[in-house]
Amino acid sequence: MYRGVVACRVVVALLLLIAATAASSAQGLFPSVWRSERGAILKVLWADPAGNFGGVFITSPGGPCPGVPYDLRGRFRGQRVAFVTSRTWTADCRATVRWIGRFVNPTTVATRFVATLVGPDGRTRRVRGSELFRRI
């Protein structure tokens, strides 16, 4: 009987440790601002203990839609991160971009992306690339 109580306490302590680690990781991401190598800005405005986060993505000044805000939703687990930036509510600068990457270190994230762009004529095209984000 005593071993069962000890084992139960150890399991509970482990679960609490895992939950605290996840919460501290999420708190380290929120709030934060990141700049891409091309000048885009990614602002993390909220994060939860499960690793979900959200905010706003502002396009780079040299792109086809300079300084345009996009919705941001994502998730991270350990060193991996995935997020989506989207702007579907206007006719101009409509795009959904899916980003997948990893933390190179606590202040740098290397990503690959697939952008689905909708032109003013309604035609859809896809663009692939990579981007490095640094925390500022």
2-135 placed in CATH 3.40.640.10 = no
Residues of the chain with pLDDT under 70: 1-28
Determine the pLDDT at residue 121.
82
CA angle 43, 78, 96 (to 5 degrees): 45
pLDDT of residue 3: 53
- Distance between CA atoms of 108 and 134, rounded to whole angstroms? 5
Q: Residue 125's pLDDT is what?
A: 94
Side-chain-side CA neighbours of residue 101 (13 Å): 22
Q: How far is CA 19 from CA 13, 14, 79, in A?
A: 10, 9, 17
* pLDDT tens-digit map of 6-40: 433 433 333 233 333 344 444 467 799 999 999 99
